[in-house]
Amino acid sequence: MEKLCNLNHLLLLFSLLVFPVLINSKTTPTQDEQQSEIITRFQEYLRINTAQPFPDYEKSTQFILTQANSLSLESQVIEFVKAKPLVILKWPGSDPSLPSILLNSHTDVVPSEHSKWVHPPLGAHIDEQGNIFARGSQDMKCVGMQYLEAIRKLKSSGFHPKRSLYLSFVPDEEIGGHDGVEKLAHSDVFKSMNVDIVVDEGLASPNENYRLFYAERTTWWLVIKSTGAPGHGAKLYDNSALENLFTSIEIIRRFRASQFDLVKAGLKGEGDVISVNMVSLKAGTPSPTGFVMNLQPSEAEAGFDIRVPPTANAESLEKRIAEEWAPASRNMSFEVEQFKEKGTNVDYLGRPLITATDSSNPWWTLLEEAIKKANGKVGKPEIFPASTDVYYFRQVGLPAIGFSPMANTPILLHDHNEFLNQAEYLKGIDVYMSIIKAYTSYIPPGRENLQRDEL
């Protein structure tokens, strides 16, 4: 009996000591388990085919709503245009009178040439170095998921935001954002969100410094047309359409080289110069076998993709186009109306689309400090060389910063074999935790006094 009793005691002791450990080890995952869950969720998002021109927004919306549910975030799905859903999530702040923070990401990706990839673009395969291969791994499903993971970690650490934090997952950025952010930025929904600062995508950095973007170049798509007397293919004469066009192309190429030289010499960043690239050339008199070879045509045209930083003088560029690139004296036609696309470099009040990087903009300093706090390094502020959704937010007068936490990473957006290393991805989550903490806790100096008075 005595022995049995001892055995019972031992069993009881065993169950008291060991069972909670067993149960605990099941409910609280180890750090490794947590990280592998984080990576699995990222892979899941990457495997949803949201490639243009037929993105599966239904699936991506469902996925994001599931994530939001698991984090107890408020959510709404808005369709300004049918089948183009914007998913807006909210983590309400403790002081609703303070304006909110918006972290934006687009859900669509560009298409891929599957046969040119080492690992399938929808596979989210992880290689031996820990690189996750998928379309959208850099642009920008990584960022959207990092926002969510940062919230997950902050919530489990017991953090409560003062300002409300919004996440927006938007469609169609890769085709201009017209049915997504452009409509959102001008909507009543957006007004009611009372946003103070927007953070959106940036670019990977091949070195150890993260890249921060305070402005973007706008797009001018220009077509110039030349005319001239047609003539025999054997005749040398001036003012043929193609000779006129080539004179222009030579002048444009010299301008292109002058801009590119500044970048090559390290004097200017990629986004600081005006880039010009010829993207189309149309000429010739068609014949059943190709083109008539002994005839100089009377018309020719060339198309150019031009990117203009907000620091450039748009008027003088227009003058240059009219006087040097396509002058009437050379039988060239060019009119402003001929621009297939011509973005403006100013906001609705006529101010340049530039987000301040000095002390006049507390959000810039807060962001830099938050990144450094999370052991990240920051490079010189840059102008984004292409355009993104952030354009529409800056147009309605908001400060907006472009940032994707990818250091030591080759720039592979829109390229074959786009990948992001999982360690870099995990590090980015900690960076966003730091940013969210700093941003949602920020109270402007005047406001601080007010709050104390109120107390």
Name the region of 7 (left: φ>0; alpha: ψ -120 to 50; beta: rest): alpha
DSSP code string of 324-349: IIS-GGGTEE--GGG-SEE--SB-TT
Please, which residues have CB within 8 angstroms of residue 204's CB and are 6 or more apart in sequence? 138, 211, 404, 406, 407, 409, 410, 411, 412, 413, 420
299 or 389: CB nearest Zn ion:
389
Nearer Cβ to Zn ion, position 268 or 414? 414
Q: Examine residue 200 and tell whether it contacts Zn ion (CB under 5 A).
A: no
Q: Closest separation between CB of residue 107 and Zn ion, Å?
A: 10
Query: For Zn ion, which is the closer residue by CB, 305 or 369?
Result: 305
Would you give the distance in Å from CA 46 to the centre of its chain? 16
Residue 303 CA neighbour count, 13 Å, CB half: 13
Question: Could you tell me which stretch among 198-206, 277-285, 394-402, 434-442 binds Zn ion (CB under 5 A)?
Answer: 198-206
| 431 within 8 A of 377, measured Cβ to Cβ | no
Smallest distance from the beta carbon of 200 to Zn ion, in angstroms? 9
Known catalytic residue at 173:
yes
Cβ of residue 387: shortest distance to Zn ion, in angstroms?
10
Query: Strand 299-308 vs strand 275-283: parallel, antiparallel, or unpaired?
Result: antiparallel
State which H helix or E strand residue 137 sits in: none
Contacts of 280 (CB under 8 A, 6+ apart): 223, 301, 302, 303
Q: Binder to Zn ion among 101, 140, 354, 383 (CB under 5 A)?
A: 140
Stretch that binds Zn ion, among 140-148, 209-217, 241-249, 276-284 (CB under 5 A): 140-148
Please tell me which residue in 149, 173, 182, 200 is annotated as part of the active site.
Answer: 173
Query: Which residue lies nearer to Zn ion by CB, 137 or 227?
Result: 137
What is the spatial distance between Cα 395 and Cα 177, in angstroms, rounded to a whole number? 13
Type and span of the H or E element at 179: none
Question: Closer CB to Zn ion, residue 139 or residue 172?
Answer: 139
Closest distance to Zn ion from the beta carbon of 414 (Å)? 9
Scanning 63-71, 147-155, 201-209, 362-370 for contacts with Zn ion by CB under 5 A, the matching segment is 201-209
Going by the DSSP 8-state scheme, the letter that residue 154 receives in this structure is: H
Give CA 57 to chain center in angstroms.
Answer: 18
Which residues ranging from 16 to 35 are in contact with Zn ion (CB under 5 A)?
none
Residue 57 makes CB contacts below 8 A (sequence gap 6+) with 50, 83, 84, 85, 107, 108, 171
Compute how many other C-beta atoms are within 10 angstroms of the C-beta atom of residue 386: 15
**Residue 87 Cβ vs Zn ion, minimum distance, rounded to whole Å:** 16
CA-CA distance, 243 to 237, in Å (whole number)?
9
How near is the Cβ of 389 to Zn ion at its closest, in Å? 8
> Is 347 noted as a catalytic residue in this protein?
no
201 is in an annotated binding site: yes
Catalytic residue among 108, 172, 301, 430: 108
Bridge partners of residue 105, in order along the sequence:
169
Is 9 annotated as belonging to a binding site?
no
Q: Is 414 annotated among the ligand-binding residues?
A: yes
CB-nearer residue toward Zn ion: 38 or 143: 143
User: At closest approach, how far in Å is the CB of 137 from Zn ion?
Assistant: 12
State which residue, 169 or 334, has the beta carbon closest to Zn ion. Answer: 169
Q: Does 424 bind Zn ion (CB under 5 A)?
A: no
Give the interface segment with Zn ion, choosing from 39-47, 133-141, 273-281, 338-346 (CB under 5 A).
Answer: 133-141
Among candidate residues 131, 103, 88, 110, the one with its CA nearest the CA of residue 201? 103
Confirm or deny that 335 is annotated as ligand binding.
Answer: no
Q: Which stretch binds Zn ion (CB under 5 A): 134-142, 151-159, 246-254, 368-376?
A: 134-142
Do residues 322 and 334 lie in contact, with contact meaning Cβ atoms separated by under 8 Å? yes
Contact between 139 and Zn ion by CB under 5 A: the answer reads yes
Q: How far is CA 105 from the centre of its chain?
A: 7
DSSP assigned state of 321:
I
Was 74 annotated as part of a binding site? Answer: no
Residues that bind Zn ion (CB under 5 A): 139-140, 201
- List residues with catalytic annotation: 108, 173
Annotated binding site for Zn(2+): 106, 139, 174, 201, 414
